[in-house]
Amino acid sequence: MTTTQPEMDRKDAPEHPAGAEQRARRVQREAVETACSHLAANGALTAERQQAVARLAARLRRRLVDRSVAAARGQGCREDDEALDPAVVAALFSE
């Protein structure tokens, strides 16, 4: 039987919440590590910037993955996702 989607893509689809959640958390962790290592290489990594990167990555995961997983499970999507705090963005781009 021929399929159009690779097996890995189907396992990570929202219909398979555990796989999608695990992959999303791994990608989030790797993104935070990469962003922090780039900031560190430029001598711009501070504790405040590290926390800001982690918060932004968590927010992206919630928006892109967690809502899809909740919908696949038949759960309502929570709309309590707070507005992006400008201080978080300022911490990343301030000198």
Residue 73 DSSP symbol: T
Confidence of residue 62 (pLDDT cuts 50, 70, 90): confident
Q: What is the CA radius of gyration of the chain?
A: 16
User: What is the reported pTM?
Assistant: 0.54
Cβ atoms 88, 56 nearer than 8 A: yes
Confidence of residue 61 (pLDDT cuts 50, 70, 90): confident
Q: Which two tokens stand for residue 72?
A: 């696949």
Task: Indicate the SS3 state at residue 43.
Answer: coil
pLDDT digits (tens, 9 = 90+) for 2-57: 444 444 455 555 556 677 778 878 888 888 888 888 888 989 888 888 888 888 88
Cβ atoms 77, 70 nearer than 8 A: yes
